[in-house]
């Protein structure tokens, strides 16, 4: 695969005053399909770029990773892609996250499963362009044609066998024009991509160096603990801070909320997470002083909107499923008719609770608002929108605002929302001092942006032993499945197919949670297919292979998945797991799913131990295109599977009169080591462009486990968390 690309406007190179050269590129623009430079490229301004390659006169290469790290390994894998095309040895590469210019550095693209997919070509072009310029400089020095030169590990060689290192020509290279065209490597020549590379921050992590937002500190900084309404639907009425103010470690007690409310009123359509209520903020000399001071506040809250409970949510969602207020999202053929003519119609309801993200590092942010500038530092995935809201809220120019991203102790979607950034900014603005807002676990869990509780009703018709229709209905809190999902499997496989959605607007804040919607939809759909196969009396694998064959014969342009790739992962998982010939006492359940551009099949092995089903092993087959970093990919895939099992099996979250029922890990269960099976991961070999891995292994596993438990116990599980709806105590808490 040889690719030539025209010169792209997202690249700019420049000589450094200290010697060496720097290439800046704007991944944010480069990733968009129509690249229109919105910036003046006549000068290299750090503000306009979000990623850099720096080559020093000694030939040392520093790659400024464009994406912050939330645990998906992008801080390692993205530089690997640049280094590959740049032709340098990985050991000579130094990767840093820190922005070059903390004052102006605001334009950064934040992670997600899609980072690699979108950045793939842009990152390669950047590396290749830098290499080409260095080669051109060497060729000019020798007076030979650049095409006669070869490069390996940062050393350029000509036909006479003379060599020049990158450092020897870097000054000249920086003065050259950016080449019009560069050629990308053939994937079979990759030396770095496809080889397992360790996490670039591993040394610092294992000795406890400050890396995370919560570790960030500045001289004179105060710590802020925020008292927010205990229930969704309440606002602050009054409070008494006299006890808190008398504490020696408490510096001040203030309220915030006015500024956030002003924007809410001015821009009612903004979908940012801003609360209507005032909040009480305790400022302490240390975190503990602030937390302790907050506990001493006596606050009175009043009801502002309905205080909702889980029973109420269950009722409204069931009413929606049984009602007729649906939006039809895709309709093929006529399901109604197929159902009327069927020999049998099977219908099941699947239910899931709200879920908090519970990133291991609780929400926190640093803000320093002065008359000159607004400096924001911490773990956030969306620095650009955060800066925008803060600029509106504080009435400041966007240029005065800088956001610096730290390593993040987990994201799972929570750090896409900037509520904690706005709070920190509003506090610092009000007290005129640098401040660090820190949430306790209780704050974090009870004032979250939750995965919305969702229910599905799935019905299918069978006629003459064949599947003739499929009707999926979704009832969810606040929002519904995104637009691509109705085109996922089984769309295209059945003549009569319909997807309907309905929602209920709640005052509980909800948002994206690792693999939004599919994180539960996959469990529902793939459990349903297990029942269908049983009802049809066909092997589960056969049923899927046949349906996918139909899609292949009748390709339908709108479908999102590839039937070939789904069949590929299914075959691989079946082969690696000994599907159908598992040893005595092992019960297997299967699930196969496409989401986030990646195809995955998973098979869970369950054994009965003391009358309790225990997941012993999960075999996972993945097609995510080219594997950039197999080591990181393996970690991601395994983590996704175990996270999926944990939340499908154990984690429950509900409300009582607007108040979350659990607030810390003593009442909310996350999966622990003793509950984890071995995860075995197999990748499809591929030379297709890479797709994401942060999310796709999570959704299918719930059904793989439920289907295996069915075989072991004869009980179909339709309501998550399964352990609470199985009538067995299946968890071991440490």
Partner 1 sequence: MPTFTLKINKKKYVVEADADTPLLWVLRDHIELVGTKFGCGIGQCGACTVHTDGEASRSCLIQVSQAEDMEITTIEGLSENGDHPVQQAWKEIDVPQCGYCQAGQIMTASAFLNQNPSPSNEEIRSAMNGNICRCASYNSIEEAVKVASEKLS
Q: Within 13 Å, how many C-alpha atoms sit on residue 546's CB side?
A: 12
Contact call for residue 205 and ligand FES (CB under 6 A): no
Q: Based on CB atoms, which residue is closest to ligand FES, 496 or 629? A: 629
Smallest distance, Å, CB 692 to ligand FES? 18
3-state secondary structure 264-332: HHHCCCCCCCCCCCCEEEEEECCHHHHHHHHHCCEEEEEECCCCCCHHHHHHHHHHHHHCCCCEEEEEE
Partner from partner 1, ligand FES, none binding residue 692, C-beta < 5-8 Å depending on class: none
Partner from partner 1, ligand FES, none binding residue 664, C-beta < 5-8 Å depending on class: partner 1
Beta pairing class for 250-256 and 466-477: unpaired
Distance CA 408, CA 188 (A): 34
- Residues of this chain that interact with partner 1 (CB under 8 A) are 69-73, 196, 198-199, 201-203, 205-212, 214-215, 217, 223, 248-249, 286-289, 292, 358-362, 407-412, 440-441, 631-632, 635-636, 638-643, 646, 664-666, 670-674, 676, 678-679, 732, 734
Residues 277/229, Cβ–Cβ less than 8 Å:
yes
Partner from ligand FES, partner 1, none binding residue 191, C-beta < 5-8 Å depending on class: none
Distance CA 708, CA 607 (A): 9
Smallest distance, Å, CB 473 to ligand FES? 36
Smallest distance, Å, CB 635 to ligand FES? 9
Chain position carrying tokens 């496409």: 594
Beta pairing class for 401-405 and 374-378: parallel
Residues 601/618, Cβ–Cβ less than 8 Å:
no
Partner from ligand FES, partner 1, none binding residue 108, C-beta < 5-8 Å depending on class: none
The interface mask with ligand FES, positions 20-59, x = CB under 6 A, is: ----------------------------------------
Chain position carrying tokens 């409204």: 316
How many residues of this chain interact with ligand FES, rule: CB under 6 A?
Answer: 3
Partner from partner 1, ligand FES, none binding residue 697, C-beta < 5-8 Å depending on class: none
Smallest distance, Å, CB 441 to ligand FES? 8
Beta pairing class for 454-463 and 344-352: antiparallel
Partner from ligand FES, partner 1, none binding residue 482, C-beta < 5-8 Å depending on class: none
Give the footprint of ligand FES on residues 173-202 (CB under 6 A): none
Query: Which residues have C-beta within 8 Å of that of residue 474, sequence separation ≥ 6?
Result: 454, 455, 456, 480, 481, 499, 500, 501, 502, 521
Q: What is the largest CA-CA distance in the chain?
A: 84
Contact call for residue 360 and ligand FES (CB under 6 A): yes
Smallest distance, Å, CB 621 to partner 1? 17
Coil/strand/helix, residue 560: coil
Partner from partner 1, ligand FES, none binding residue 286, C-beta < 5-8 Å depending on class: partner 1
Residues 393/265, Cβ–Cβ less than 8 Å:
no
Q: Based on CB atoms, which residue is closest to ligand FES, 12 or 357? A: 357
- Per-residue tokens: 495: 């003549």
- Per-residue tokens: 725: 């709806």
Partner from ligand FES, partner 1, none binding residue 207, C-beta < 5-8 Å depending on class: partner 1
Query: Which residues have C-beta within 8 Å of that of residue 321, sequence separation ≥ 6?
Result: 349, 455, 456, 457, 473, 475, 502
Q: Based on CB atoms, which residue is closest to partner 1, 175 or 205? A: 205
Q: Based on CB atoms, which residue is closest to partner 1, 212 or 350? A: 212
Q: Based on CB atoms, which residue is closest to ligand FES, 410 or 654? A: 410
Intra-chain end-to-end CA distance of the chain, in Å: 52
Sheet holding 435-438, edge to edge: 250-256, 279-284, 222-227, 435-438, 364-369, 374-378, 401-405
CA distances 122 to 8, 33, 184, 515, Å, are 9, 11, 11, 25
Partner from ligand FES, partner 1, none binding residue 477, C-beta < 5-8 Å depending on class: none
Distance CA 410, CA 429 (A): 28
Q: Which residue is nearest to ligand FES (CB)?
A: 360
Residues 548/493, Cβ–Cβ less than 8 Å:
yes
Smallest distance, Å, CB 410 to ligand FES? 5
Partner from partner 1, ligand FES, none binding residue 209, C-beta < 5-8 Å depending on class: partner 1
Smallest distance, Å, CB 648 to ligand FES? 19
Smallest distance, Å, CB 201 to ligand FES? 11
Q: Based on CB atoms, which residue is closest to partner 1, 410 or 568? A: 410
Partner from partner 1, ligand FES, none binding residue 638, C-beta < 5-8 Å depending on class: partner 1
Give the footprint of ligand FES on residues 243-262 (CB under 6 A): none
Chain position carrying tokens 């009043």: 302
Smallest distance, Å, CB 208 to ligand FES? 14
Contact call for residue 654 and ligand FES (CB under 6 A): no
Partner from ligand FES, partner 1, none binding residue 72, C-beta < 5-8 Å depending on class: partner 1
Query: Which residues have C-beta within 8 Å of that of residue 370, sequence separation ≥ 6?
Result: 432
Contact call for residue 71 and ligand FES (CB under 6 A): yes
Smallest distance, Å, CB 458 to partner 1? 28
Backbone φ and ψ for 508, nearest 5 degrees, come out as -85, 130
Give the footprint of ligand FES on residues 138-157 (CB under 6 A): none
Contact call for residue 165 and ligand FES (CB under 6 A): no
Partner from partner 1, ligand FES, none binding residue 732, C-beta < 5-8 Å depending on class: partner 1
Backbone φ and ψ for 483, nearest 5 degrees, come out as -60, -25
Q: Based on CB atoms, which residue is closest to partner 1, 154 or 409? A: 409
Distance CA 527, CA 531 (A): 7
How many other C-beta atoms lie within 10 A of the C-beta of residue 666? Answer: 9
Smallest distance, Å, CB 729 to partner 1? 16
Partner from partner 1, ligand FES, none binding residue 287, C-beta < 5-8 Å depending on class: partner 1
Partner from partner 1, ligand FES, none binding residue 696, C-beta < 5-8 Å depending on class: none
Contact call for residue 733 and ligand FES (CB under 6 A): no
CA distances 582 to 319, 332, 363, 578, 587, Å, are 42, 39, 45, 6, 7
Smallest distance, Å, CB 435 to ligand FES? 22
Smallest distance, Å, CB 363 to ligand FES? 15
- Per-residue tokens: 254: 């203030």
Smallest distance, Å, CB 260 to partner 1? 26
Q: Is the Cα torsion angle 369, 375, 378, 381 positive or negative in sign?
A: positive
Question: What does DSSP assign to residue 657?
Answer: T
Q: Based on CB atoms, which residue is closest to ligand FES, 216 or 504? A: 216
Smallest distance, Å, CB 284 to partner 1? 9
- Per-residue tokens: 715: 């009980």
Smallest distance, Å, CB 639 to ligand FES? 8
Q: Which residues of 56-69 are buried (b: 16+ CB within 10 A; e: fewer)?
A: bbebbbbbbbbbbb
Backbone φ and ψ for 181, nearest 5 degrees, come out as -135, 140
Q: Based on CB atoms, which residue is closest to ligand FES, 268 or 734? A: 734
Q: Based on CB atoms, which residue is closest to partner 1, 167 or 293? A: 293
Distance CA 602, CA 590 (A): 6
Question: What does DSSP assign to residue 603?
Answer: E
Contact call for residue 410 and ligand FES (CB under 6 A): yes
Coil/strand/helix, residue 617: strand
Binding site for ligand FES (CB under 6 A): 71, 360, 410
């Amino acid at each position: 695969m040889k690719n030539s690309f025209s010169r792209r406007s997202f690249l700019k190179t420049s000589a450094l005053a200290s010697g060496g050269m720097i290439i800046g590129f704007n991944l944010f623009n480069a990733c968009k399909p129509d690249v229109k430079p919105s910036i003046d490229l006549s000068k290299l301004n750090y503000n306009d770029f979000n990623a850099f390659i720096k080559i020093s006169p000694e030939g040392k290469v520093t790659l400024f990773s464009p994406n912050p790290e939330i645990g998906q390994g992008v801080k390692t894998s993205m530089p690997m892609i640049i280094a590959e095309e740049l032709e340098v040895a990985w050991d000579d590469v130094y990767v840093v996250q820190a922005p070059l210019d903390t004052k102006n550095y605001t334009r950064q693209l934040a992670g997600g499963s899609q980072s690699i997919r979108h950045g793939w070509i842009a990152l390669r072009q950047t590396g290749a362009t830098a290499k080409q310029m260095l080669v051109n400089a060497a060729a000019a020095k020798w007076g030979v044609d650049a095409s006669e030169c070869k490069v390996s590990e940062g050393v350029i060689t000509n036909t006479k066998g003379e060599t020049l290192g990158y450092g020897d020509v870097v000054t000249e290279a920086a003065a050259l024009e950016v080449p019009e065209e560069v050629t990308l490597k053939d994937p079979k020549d990759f030396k770095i991509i496809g080889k397992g590379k360790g996490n670039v921050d591993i040394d610092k992590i294992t000795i406890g160096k400050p890396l995370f937002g919560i570790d960030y500190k500045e001289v004179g900084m105060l710590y802020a603990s925020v008292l927010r309404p205990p229930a969704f639907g309440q606002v602050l009425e009054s409070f008494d801070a006299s006890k808190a103010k008398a504490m020696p470690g408490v510096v001040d007690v203030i309220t915030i909320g006015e500024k956030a409310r002003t924007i809410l009123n001015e821009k009612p359509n903004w979908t940012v997470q801003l609360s209507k209520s005032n909040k009480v903020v305790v400022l302490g000399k240390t975190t503990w002083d602030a937390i302790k001071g907050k506990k001493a506040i006596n606050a009175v809250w009043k009801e502002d909107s309905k205080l909702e409970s889980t029973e109420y949510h269950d009722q409204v969602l069931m009413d929606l499923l049984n009602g007729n207020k649906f939006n039809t999202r895709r309709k093929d053929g006529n399901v109604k008719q197929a159902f009327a003519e069927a020999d049998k119609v099977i219908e099941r309801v699947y239910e899931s609770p709200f879920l908090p993200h519970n990133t291991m590092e609780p929400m926190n942010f640093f803000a320093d608002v002065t008359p000159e500038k607004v400096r924001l530092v911490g773990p956030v995935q969306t620095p650009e929108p955060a800066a925008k809201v803060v600029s509106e809220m504080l009435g400041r120019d966007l240029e005065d605002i800088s956001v610096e991203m730290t390593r993040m102790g987990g994201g799972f979607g929570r750090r896409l929302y900037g509520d904690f950034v706005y709070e920190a900014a509003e506090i610092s603005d009000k007290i005129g001092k640098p401040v660090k807002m820190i949430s306790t676990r209780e704050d974090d869990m009870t004032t979250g942006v939750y995965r919305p509780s969702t229910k599905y009703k799935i019905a299918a018709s069978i006629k003459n032993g064949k599947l003739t229709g499929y009707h999926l209905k979704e009832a969810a809190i606040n929002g519904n499945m995104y637009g691509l999902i109705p085109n996922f499997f089984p769309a295209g496989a059945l003549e009569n197919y319909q997807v309907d959605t309905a929602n209920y607007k709640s005052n509980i804040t909800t948002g994206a949670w690792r693999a939004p919607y599919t994180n539960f939809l996959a469990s529902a759909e793939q459990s349903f297919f297990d029942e269908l196969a049983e009802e049809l009396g066909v092997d589960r694998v056969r049923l899927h292979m046949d349906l996918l064959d139909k899609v292949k014969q009748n390709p339908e342009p709108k479908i999102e998945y590839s039937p070939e790739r789904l069949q590929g992962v299914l075959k691989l998982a079946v082969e690696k797991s000994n599907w159908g010939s598992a040893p005595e006492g092992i019960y297997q359940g299967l699930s196969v799913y496409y989401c986030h551009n990646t195809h995955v099949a998973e098979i869970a092995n369950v054994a009965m131990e003391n009358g309790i089903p225990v997941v012993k092993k999960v075999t996972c087959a993945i097609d995510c295109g080219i594997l950039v970093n197999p080591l990181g990919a393996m970690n991601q895939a395994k983590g996704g599977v175990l996270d999926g099992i944990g939340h499908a099996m154990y984690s429950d979250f509900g409300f009582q009169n607007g108040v979350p029922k659990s607030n810390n890990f003593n009442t909310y269960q996350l999966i622990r080591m003793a509950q984890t099976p071995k995860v075995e991961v197999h990748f499809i070999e591929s030379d297709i462009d890479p797709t994401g891995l942060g999310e796709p292994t999570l959704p299918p596993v719930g059904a793989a486990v439920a289907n295996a438990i069915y075989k072991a116990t004869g009980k179909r599980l339709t309501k998550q968390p399964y352990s609470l709806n199985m009538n067995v105590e299946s968890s071991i808490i440490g």
